[in-house]
């Protein structure tokens, strides 16, 4: 990896790093973000900190050491750290006070949408907006994390693309010969991008549908690594209860690999959340070989680097928005 992340605004973005359910008390959860290794230290007392997974002493990987829920011990010279990151014991000098500089290099961490998010920069920016999560408590299901051999921005752009439905998701999200993409509007303001009236013909537009028909989506982007789609409820497609929202959450491991979660939030308290998770798994598996085949793996921001069609209005707006935000990591 180059050193692009150092000068990039990307360091001030929050990135999802783990599902909350996967980080159990008294465990370590190592992960890689922006080409660097980190670890979540989940204390037995319920605290969670995020730190560089590199010992401040001689750079050994801390998560190769031991952790009893209260003390993390480095595998190399046995320095011990408490669950706030303070170094509390150096076995080679048991009777000498430990300087504050021996502490772990911690970074900001917070929980949102059922995921742990980390910001490694000094001026954290906004989390993505995903209103559906709070509006429909308990009705979100997550699929992931899944690793993809491509940049996060390529994966997000794929999520924003409806023209591929009848090809990559034939009989699932689209069906030949219904290939035409009708015009839709894209607006850009201070909070991000929104595309409205994105209409796709789908073979099963609602849970009670007996034949194919149109579905309308709204897409929004308020964070460089995430995007939200909302299926606009309609009487023909099962009514209000059968609208739903989805958020793709990408986490950049390097500029050309990422981890991905797909969150789905439904409206119907009696809905089949596991069914949505399983459906996302199928759709994701259909997308994977295509997005991993794209070259370059980084998303080109120069409009002249690839050729476009009218259906690409949203993806072009996303590329411009990334450039304007200074989010260059995973782009070229």
Q: Any bridge partners for residue 230, and if so which?
A: 218, 245
User: Which part of the chain contacts ligand FES (CB under 6 A), choosing from 57-65, 202-210, 289-297, 319-327?
Assistant: 57-65
Asked if 58 touches ligand FES (CB under 6 A), the answer is yes
| Helix 273-293 / helix 152-159 crossing angle, nearest 10 deg | 120
Asked if 312 touches Fe ion (CB under 5 A), the answer is no
Give the closest residue to 64 by CA, choosing from 39, 44, 43, 89. Answer: 39
Both tokens of 57, joined, read 């002493």
How deeply is 299 buried, as exposed, middle or buried, from its count of CB atoms within 10 A (0-12, 13-18, 19+)?
buried
In whole angstroms, how close is the CB of 120 to ligand FES at the nearest point? Answer: 21
Q: Any bridge partners for residue 16, and if so which?
A: 117
**In this complex, which beta carbon is closest to ligand FES, that of residue 74 or of residue 246?**
74
Both tokens of 332, joined, read 């070229």
Give the closest residue to 158 by CA, choosing from 291, 304, 328. Answer: 291
How many chain residues bind Fe ion (CB under 5 A)? 1
Asked if 172 touches ligand FES (CB under 6 A), the answer is no
**In this complex, which beta carbon is closest to Fe ion, that of residue 287 or of residue 312?**
287
User: Which part of the chain contacts ligand FES (CB under 6 A), choosing from 51-59, 225-233, 277-285, 320-328?
Assistant: 51-59
Q: Which residues contact residue 216 at a Cβ distance below 8 angstroms, ignoring those fewer than 6 apart?
A: 197, 198, 199, 231, 232, 234
Vertex 145 angle, CA 142 and 147, to 5°: 145
Q: Which position among 79, 130, 184, 201 is part of the footprint of ligand FES (CB under 6 A)? A: 79
**In this complex, which beta carbon is closest to Fe ion, that of residue 13 or of residue 287?**
287
Binding mask 267-306 for Fe ion (x = CB under 5 A): --------------------x-------------------
Asked if 57 touches ligand FES (CB under 6 A), the answer is yes
Q: Which helix (H) or strand (E) holds 133?
A: helix 131-135
Asked if 87 touches ligand FES (CB under 6 A), the answer is no
In whole angstroms, how close is the CB of 37 to ligand FES at the nearest point? Answer: 14
Distance CA 90, CA 61 (A): 17
Q: Which position among 44, 60, 199, 218 is part of the footprint of ligand FES (CB under 6 A)? A: 60
Query: Which spans of this chain sit near Fe ion (rule: CB under 5 A)?
Result: 287
Query: Which spans of this chain sit near ligand FES (rule: CB under 6 A)?
Result: 55, 57-58, 60, 74, 76-77, 79
């Amino acid at each position: 990896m180059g050193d692009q992340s150092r000068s990039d605004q990307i360091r001030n973005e929050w990135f999802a790093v783990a599902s909350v359910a996967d980080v159990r008390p008294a465990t370590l959860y190592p992960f890689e973000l922006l080409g660097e290794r980190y670890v979540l230290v989940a204390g037995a007392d319920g605290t969670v900190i995020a730190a560089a997974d590199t010992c401040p002493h001689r750079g050994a990987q801390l998560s190769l050491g031991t952790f009893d829920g209260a003390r993390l011990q480095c595998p190399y010279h046995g320095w011990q750290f408490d669950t706030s990151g303070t170094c509390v014991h150096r076995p080679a000098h048991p009777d000498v006070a430990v300087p504050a500089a021996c502490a772990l290099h911690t970074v900001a961490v917070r929980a949102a949408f059922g995921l742990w998010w980390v910001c490694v920069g000094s001026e954290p920016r906004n989390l993505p907006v995903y209103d559906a999560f709070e509006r429909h408590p308990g009705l979100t299901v997550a699929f992931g994390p899944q690793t993809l051999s491509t940049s996060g921005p390529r994966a997000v752009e794929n999520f924003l693309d409806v023209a591929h439905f009848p090809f990559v998701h034939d009989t699932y999200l689209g069906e030949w010969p219904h290939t035409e993409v009708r015009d839709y509007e894209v607006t850009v303001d201070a909070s991000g991008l929104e595309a409205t009236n994105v209409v796709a013909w789908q073979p099963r537009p609602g849970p009670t549908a007996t034949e194919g028909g149109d579905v309308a989506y709204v897409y929004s982007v308020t964070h460089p690594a995430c995007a939200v789609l909302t299926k606009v409820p309609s009487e023909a497609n099962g009514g209000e209860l059968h609208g739903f929202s989805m958020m793709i959450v990408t986490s950049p491991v390097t500029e050309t690999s990422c981890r991905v979660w797909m969150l789905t939030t439904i409206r119907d308290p009696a809905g089949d959340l596991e069914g949505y998770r399983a459906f996302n798994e199928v759709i994701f598996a259909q997308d994977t070989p295509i997005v991993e085949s794209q070259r370059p793996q980084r998303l080109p921001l120069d409009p002249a680097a690839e050729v476009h069609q009218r259906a690409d209005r949203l993806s072009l707006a996303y590329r411009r928005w990334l450039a304007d935000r200074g989010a260059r990591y995973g782009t070229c």
